[in-house]
Structure 1
Amino acid sequence: MTSTTFAQISTADTVKTNAFGDRYLYNLNRGSFDKVSAQVVFDAEFSKRLLQEDCLNIIIGTDSGLLPKYVQQQGIPSGSRYIFIEPEQVLAQLHQHQLLDDLPEEIICTTPALWEEHAHIFKINEYFYINSIQSFNAICAQQAIIDDYAELGWQLTEALHILHFRYNTTIGCEAFISRQLENIAENILPVTYLANAYQNKTVIILAGGPSLTTVFPWLLENRHKLVVFSVSRISRQLISAGIEPDFVFSVDPQDVNINVSREMFLFSEQTVFINSYHVQPGLINQWHGQSLYLGTRLPWQSDLNIANIEGTGPTVTNSALSMAHYFGFSKILLAGFDLCFTKEGITHAQGSDEQLAGPKYNSTPLQVEIYNGEYRPTGQDYHAALLTLEKQAEQISSSRCEIINLAPTAAKVEHISHIPCTEITLPDIHDNHISSVKQRIPQLTDDLLNAHYQAVIDELEKTNFQIKAIAKLAKKALVINERMYNAEGRIENYKDKRELDSIEKQLKRKYRKHSKLVKNFGIRQFIKINSPHDSDNWDAEKAKKLGTIYYQAYQSGATKLSALIDSAIARTQIRREELKAEPDFSRLLAQWDQDKSYHRATLWLQKHPHASISEQTALALQAFQDQFNQVITTQDTAFKSKVVKNSTLPLLKSKIKLLFKHRKIDELKNLKLGFINDSNHDNKEPYLLLIEGYLAELENDTEAALVHYNHTLNLDQSPLLEEALLRIASISLEQQNQQNALLAMDCLTQLSPVYLPYQAELARVTGDYLLAIDSYNAYINFFPENILSKLKLTSLYIDMKVYDAAELMLEHMLQTDPNFKSAVDLKNQLAVIKQEKSKSADFESVKLTNF
């Protein structure tokens, strides 16, 4: 009997009803609802998050059907849908016990294999468009007593991440436009200045995969023969190795990008920064060297949008690869371009926050082939990126540009070959070849900067006038839409209707270009006009509601966009002020503080070394420099705190059990090695013993496995007692060592009452009927609704010829359900037995009388 079998059996028929009338499978929720009702627990845990309008909620686990019932009782919010995902065997048990009956059509309970099918029926794409996807873990999934919940949670997180990217890239994003406006003063020179600048040269692109640092010795030796591209997130490792790139790339608009890229500010002015138009502003507005941008300056038609190229997405490495091709390189070498983990589960290069956090324990056992023919674990996001990379590589290689991955442990990609760095032949590149190319980049004089800033301000002010006019029209339209309908929902004054039509004409004609901009910016609000599950029944009330949504979207989008433009104007005006030898420091400091652009204080001082400033101003500038140094050196970043959560011991335990379940011997060995080298955890012994025990079992050395499991039991405060005892019980049963199995089961019953039926059955097999009866009675007291155990106890009484006790049990069951077939059959069987016993007694009586 395997641990999987134990889990399946213990899930079955363990229905408990608490004092509040909640019925649930005990082995899913254990004591979650013992002291308080499910409603109180759900109110505290999920509250209003689960009950928002126009949301698609995807939930791992149903808490024995109590959570969907809770949603149903609270009232399903307008436009919202719910998908509950349960492991297949759990879902079967829930249906068997009628715990999912009578749910409305807005709620679906399904399996991991079918949830996406239901999600598409529920129009998941439209929910993504309005940014209204929510995912939750039910209480049972948070506790993950059933191992399947952990695996399911990891799979769902990665699947939603991929779907989010797929659908959101099709409609644009407010965040990108926001960053575009924040960066307008800094996006000055396009990458087109370096088109085909490096023909017949070789470039090495350094990315953040685990293999990165293995190429450093060779790179240092051959640095003079290569142009070096690097992604910004590996700047820490490059600084430590004494390697300075020629170009550093960054595209991510998220604030976390400043956490992972901050060491790029330690490069010299010789490094050129290539950034997307929407990069995190703190990187570009504090950069000390030359920079070139990808994409467009402004999100609307403008003379400021000079000719430029976008650069291939979605990742920074894709952009760097496309730029290597655009710059004309004939050979592109890839290092740290792995798109898979190490066999121990390390996801990023040595020295990164991810590597320092330890192996990634919250990932599914997805494998990809690497160049040396082995397989390595990877994540769903990396796996999806491989498909994009393959298409990109096909296009680049078709132009006679060779792409080589230097790492034998990188994911194998068609059209990208692997050659060890020691076999690469490189011609020398003279320093003046690189410097002469960089000289193509214009020097930004004060006059050029001043002209750029003034052009930006003029364009922003002109556009903002139009945007504010749209906001005023939308506000007016909302007032008209509200008063246009009478109490019966009919249009009362057609003059209002004509005025509303006039506003709509202005939006579509006079302000056509800028109305489109407002819609693009606030597209998610406009999409809500057609929410995923609107009814087709139109009436005046619905028309009024849709009118309100429509003009609110206009007003909200225009107001937010106008505020962003106001900020961009103010920021650009400060850039002009910075050019002065005697600026208004109060304005400069206020803007720098607002933007957290502390390094601009240093940049200003470097540009004005002979400026005469007051002592108070000098102290303020020094404080900003100190603040920037703290940003560069602090160890406790938000990103680091986030990645540490991927390497916790509960996740490790789930992954150990998952790999054992799937009989992944090599992966278990690799996980063990990674955990041994993980310096972030103490008390490793119980986890290592469990891994050793699992490995011994999978390699058919059960005696060694028992030794490891027994050592686990002998540890003080071991967190893995249940796992070790389950394996001891299973092995003992396979060896037909019932006594040892009973000992293990006795210990398990002290951990949880769900093991009492196993103890009862083992006791019955070994002939210890009193223990069997006691175990069944204890279990029935804990789970009074468990009919199966009552039937088994009744059968046991019959086998032991304790007929009176059997009759009492049957009468109790038939009082609850007089037509319960199994009980009726047993009652008839018992009647036959008693009748035969009576005949036998009469026969013996006759024999005695005759004698």
Structure 2
Amino acid sequence: MSQDQPTALQFAISSFNETYFPTINREQFTQKKSTEYYDTEYKKLTDTDQLHIIVGMDSGLLANYVMSHPLPAGSHYLFVELDEVLDALNIDIEPAYASAMDIISFNQLAQILTQPQYELFFLKNRYQLYLSLGAKHAYTQNYRLLKQQVQLEVEQAAFNLQANINGDSFIQQQLFNACDNIYPAELLRHLTLGADCLVIGGGPSLDKHIDWVKQHQDELIIISVSRAAEQLHHAGIHIDFVVTVDPQQVSFATSKAILNLPLETILINADHAHPALLGQWQGSHFYTGQQLPWRTENNMGITGPTVSNSAVQLAATLGAGRILLLGVDMCWSPTGVSHASGSLEGRLGPFISKIGIWVPTNNAQQAETTVQLSAAITSLEQQIKALPDTDVISLSLHGAKIKGVAFIEPTALKLASLPDKYELLGKLRQRYPAAISGKHHGRHLHQLAQHCRDCQKALQTIFTQAQIALDLSDDAVGHADALARLQQQLDQQFPAQLKLIKFYGYHQFSKFLSTRESDTWQQNQVCNMSRQYYQAMSESCHSLINLLDETLRQITSRQEENRPYPNLSLLAKQWQRHQQSGRIDILLQRHPTLATSLTFGEAQIISRLLQAYRQTMQVPVMTRNNRPLKQWDLLAAEEKLEYLHLIGHTQGLAQMVAAFAALPPSDKAKQLGFRAKSYLYQLEGKDFESHQAIHSMPQHLQQEADIRQQVLISLKTAQVDTATTALEALLPYSDEYAPQLAKLYTLQQRLDDAINCWQQYLQKVPCDSQGWTKLADILLQQGHYQQAKEMYQQAVEVNPDNLLAARQLTQLEQALARSS
């Protein structure tokens, strides 16, 4: 039995007359018919206009199940199977599915996902990844490898194609931020010309050099990403610029500590940054991107996909002579930690729940990273290529190797002389103060409101025209000319607004895009597509008009803050609507006498606002299940452990060994720790240590994978008796272990046990010609000639190409004939 190859594939026939591989599906189809499982497990496989990506075919049964149903309109099926299974199976694709189903190996997957018909499914977010029952349970170990490889490839394809799929959330946050986005970051161009700018990310290398940063902070312009700011602040390091980009709620959860930074720090926020961060920031701030999504302006753009990319762009805009990178590792540490210790992820230790991509590092080693960070590396390389006159230097020995970035130890750096940066930045803050009051702010809000109302008016016109087009779409073919004229008029009059509508309403407009072949479109489908297009336009217009109403309420709220006696009740309602209760501190600073003239009701409002703000600042980072992130998932860690073993990754396994040892004690952590040690020693060629590690595991913790490892390593160390005992313990899990056990019995001359083992196995797997041959050999050795003859006959009957059995049968028949 080999770890990286499944037991030879032998067919079995269930009592339901279904042919399957017991090695892959074991007893799954002996209790009930496969379709009974599938009707429950795979209901979504009949969804229309969907790319169904399925790992494994359950011995072909799942593919046949799919083809037993009418082809769902617009859907495509992509089965990714193990090479050895593809070699053993012959699946005839039904004519109806000929152009809608592909059965491929993993080696073909990357290329096929780039084909246009597949890309459209990703762009529309109409794809789903499934595991066959065999792949889900992974009795055949190579399925563990295959499903992880497929998942990574699909994740990469989706990431590459879905950059604009959530345009609605970006636009929403951009509009909510518009009243606070006053000073464009372009005003900072060449501010610190020739200075050494230190860009600090949240990567693990920050821990190693944070003392160096503290020692040299006066000689550097320090730019920090928002999630690293808390650690720097606690270390006594003054942050000159802090950068935040992401609009998602998790960005506030991981970065809210920036609201505790001193007023001397300057915030650089993307136009769509989370409003709870921007709206509660009390100091000076500059925005990147555009103040309003339909108006263009000359401003520093937003560079992605990570906030570190934007921070590097800021350093370039400032006119850095050199850009130094610390904590911009773009990968995990040598111990597998994903973030610096100042973050929650860093405090949780090595990231053992995620299978990542391995990339080269500055010390010529390998480190794990995510799909997003891999894309960030590519983006950073392009950024640096556009800065030929600026040296970019990484201070992280274990950071990812990036083209155009040199590595230098911080202690070997000679920093450029820097004039008093605090004076320079102080003058900047005086010139561009926190824009919360004054005539300039009032003009800004008035103009902003007018722009929003103008846009609403244009959107209302587009909405009206879309309604007309919807009526015409009932006969889109007959009204083709009228629809073309209407669309041309919209394109000419409202190009900026239409661009906004389509970006914001991407999900609605993606319904108009069809995954069906154009030559199959009927007139009713053309009409339907026209209706979908103008329905999407109508819905997006309506949603944007409502969104602008909320933006106008936000503007009114900011105008109210400028009044000598603001309406606290009105302000509180609006602030809490957008998680901005902390603005009460801004208001009290603007109106120092307000606190002395409060009514009882107003005092209660302020008290509730302050309490709400304190509560939001204490909310922990949540998982996808909306639960506090407290530890990594050990079930996912087990998947990663098996994956690393299958690909022979010693560095990754060493990280897992250390991680399991550091985890809080639990049976699962102990079990995986023993297994990880055995795997690592095995790959290092230390078979005795591997044997000792796996056999040290208490029996009550042992699972099938652990006992299987005992067999493998016992055989490698020639401990046949130990391997036999372990195989006996494996037999209740699956009959696939019986041939190996029978062979060991034979090796130990336990021939009666071997015969009994073969007989029980062959009753369940009668199509194993080699098994019948082995049983016959033992019977022949014991002198049971007639029984041996019958077994050879059975072997030849099952497989006429079994030449060994045929030759033995002929010789035995001749010998019996002579003896009679």
* TM-score when normalising by structure 1: 0.87
User: Bigger CA drift: 291-300 or 465-474?
Assistant: 465-474
Give the CA deviation at 1:212: 0.6
Instruction: Assess, with a 3 A threshold, how the Cα gap between structure 1 residues 412 and 507 changes in structure 2: closer, same or farther.
Output: closer
Q: Which residue is equivalent to 1:689?
A: 674
Cα deviation code 1:734-779 (max 9, x no counterpart):
4555433322211111333321121123223443333223223332
Whether 1:618 aligns to 2:610 is no
Q: Distance in 2 between matches of 1:99 and 1:649?
A: 40
| Aligned residue runs from structure 1 range 785-800, under 5 A | 789-790=771-772, 792-793=774-775, 797=779
| Aligned residue runs from structure 1 range 32-51, under 5 A | 32-33=28-29, 35-48=31-44, 50-51=45-46
- The 8 Å contact of residues 396 and 409 in structure 2, kept in 1 or not, is answered as yes
Q: Distance in 2 between matches of 1:737 and 1:77?
A: 56
* Partner SS for 1:229: strand
Q: Which residue is equivalent to 1:415?
A: 404
Cα deviation code 1:505-553 (max 9, x no counterpart):
5434455553443234334544544423324144422322222222222
Structure 2 gap segments, 5+ residues each:
none
- The 8 Å contact of residues 365 and 659 in structure 1, kept in 2 or not, is answered as no
Give the CA deviation at 1:190: 0.2
Cα deviation code 1:286-342 (max 9, x no counterpart):
2222211111122224xxx44312043222111111111111121222111112211
Whether 1:465 aligns to 2:457 is yes
1:555 to 538, 548, 568: 538
| Aligned residue runs from structure 1 range 295-306, under 5 A | 295-301=289-295, 305-306=296-297
| Aligned residue runs from structure 1 range 37-436, under 5 A | 37-48=33-44, 50-93=45-88, 95=89, 104-121=98-115, 123-169=117-163, 173-301=167-295, 305-362=296-353, 366-396=357-387, 398-399=388-389, 401-426=390-415, 427=417, 429-430=419-420, 431-436=422-427
Cα deviation code 1:792-823 (max 9, x no counterpart):
54565566565665677788899xxx896258
| Aligned residue runs from structure 1 range 796-811, under 5 A | 797=779, 802=784
Q: Which residue is equivalent to 2:655?
A: 670
Q: Distance in 2 between matches of 1:329 and 1:476?
A: 55
Whether 1:456 aligns to 2:448 is yes
Q: Distance in 2 between matches of 1:539 and 1:692?
A: 62
* Partner SS for 1:368: strand
Q: What amino acid maps onto 2:222 in structure 1?
A: V
* Partner SS for 1:545: helix
Instruction: Assess, with a 3 A threshold, how the Cα gap between structure 1 residues 62 and 565 changes in structure 2: closer, same or farther.
Output: farther
Q: What amino acid maps onto 1:3 in structure 2?
A: Q
Instruction: Assess, with a 3 A threshold, how the Cα gap between structure 1 residues 639 and 230 changes in structure 2: closer, same or farther.
Output: farther
Q: Which residue is equivalent to 2:471?
A: 479
Instruction: Assess, with a 3 A threshold, how the Cα gap between structure 1 residues 822 and 443 changes in structure 2: closer, same or farther.
Output: closer
Instruction: Assess, with a 3 A threshold, how the Cα gap between structure 1 residues 749 and 422 changes in structure 2: closer, same or farther.
Output: same
Q: Distance in 1 between matches of 2:182 and 2:334?
A: 44
Instruction: Assess, with a 3 A threshold, how the Cα gap between structure 1 residues 514 and 704 changes in structure 2: closer, same or farther.
Output: closer
Give the CA deviation at 1:273: 1.0
Give the CA deviation at 1:405: 1.8
1:764 to 715, 725, 746: 746
Instruction: Assess, with a 3 A threshold, how the Cα gap between structure 1 residues 798 and 641 changes in structure 2: closer, same or farther.
Output: farther
Q: Distance in 2 between matches of 1:682 and 1:241?
A: 38
Q: What amino acid maps onto 1:703 in structure 2?
A: F
Q: Distance in 1 between matches of 2:748 and 2:699?
A: 31
Number of aligned residue pairs: 814
Q: Distance in 2 between matches of 1:363 and 1:808?
A: 54
Cα deviation code 1:412-445 (max 9, x no counterpart):
3333222222233343542313312333425523
Give the CA deviation at 1:214: 1.6
Q: Which residue is equivalent to 2:589?
A: 606
Q: Distance in 1 between matches of 2:348 and 2:29?
A: 35
Q: What amino acid maps onto 1:68 in structure 2?
A: A
* Partner SS for 1:82: strand
Whether 1:774 aligns to 2:763 is no
Whether 1:13 aligns to 2:5 is no
Give the CA deviation at 1:686: 3.1
Q: Which residue is equivalent to 1:488?
A: none
Instruction: Assess, with a 3 A threshold, how the Cα gap between structure 1 residues 248 and 21 changes in structure 2: closer, same or farther.
Output: farther
- The 8 Å contact of residues 602 and 621 in structure 1, kept in 2 or not, is answered as no
- The 8 Å contact of residues 473 and 527 in structure 2, kept in 1 or not, is answered as yes
Instruction: Assess, with a 3 A threshold, how the Cα gap between structure 1 residues 512 and 316 changes in structure 2: closer, same or farther.
Output: closer
Q: Distance in 2 between matches of 1:617 and 1:36?
A: 69
Q: Distance in 1 between matches of 2:709 and 2:434?
A: 71
Q: Which residue is equivalent to 1:649?
A: 634
Q: Distance in 1 between matches of 2:76 and 2:204?
A: 41
Q: Distance in 2 between matches of 1:520 and 1:171?
A: 8
Whether 1:751 aligns to 2:743 is no
Instruction: Assess, with a 3 A threshold, how the Cα gap between structure 1 residues 652 and 497 changes in structure 2: closer, same or farther.
Output: closer
- The 8 Å contact of residues 81 and 122 in structure 1, kept in 2 or not, is answered as no
* Partner SS for 2:362: coil
Q: Distance in 2 between matches of 1:118 and 1:655?
A: 26
Structure 1 gap segments, 5+ residues each:
486-490, 842-851
* Partner SS for 2:4: helix
- The 8 Å contact of residues 16 and 782 in structure 1, kept in 2 or not, is answered as no
Q: Which residue is equivalent to 2:4?
A: 4
Q: What amino acid maps onto 1:631 in structure 2?
A: T
Q: Distance in 1 between matches of 2:160 and 2:811?
A: 69
Q: Distance in 1 between matches of 2:561 and 2:407?
A: 50
Q: Distance in 2 between matches of 1:21 and 1:618?
A: 78
- The 8 Å contact of residues 353 and 640 in structure 1, kept in 2 or not, is answered as no
Give the CA deviation at 1:233: 1.3
Q: Which residue is equivalent to 1:845?
A: none
Give the CA deviation at 1:784: 5.5
Q: Distance in 2 between matches of 1:634 and 1:643?
A: 9
Give the CA deviation at 1:270: 1.4
Q: Distance in 1 between matches of 2:771 and 2:161?
A: 50
User: Bigger CA drift: 27-36 or 424-433?
Assistant: 27-36
- The 8 Å contact of residues 205 and 320 in structure 1, kept in 2 or not, is answered as yes
User: Bigger CA drift: 175-184 or 782-791?
Assistant: 782-791
Q: What amino acid maps onto 1:51 in structure 2?
A: T
Give the CA deviation at 1:703: 3.0
* Partner SS for 1:179: helix
- The 8 Å contact of residues 406 and 418 in structure 1, kept in 2 or not, is answered as yes
Cα deviation code 1:10-56 (max 9, x no counterpart):
6x226463x555544334344555555444444444433x4332222
Q: Distance in 2 between matches of 1:101 and 1:759?
A: 41
Instruction: Assess, with a 3 A threshold, how the Cα gap between structure 1 residues 635 and 181 changes in structure 2: closer, same or farther.
Output: closer
- The 8 Å contact of residues 230 and 248 in structure 1, kept in 2 or not, is answered as yes
Cα deviation code 1:177-236 (max 9, x no counterpart):
333223222221101221111123222111011111222212222222222110011133
What is the identity percentage for the equivalent residue pairs of Structure 1 and Structure 2?
26
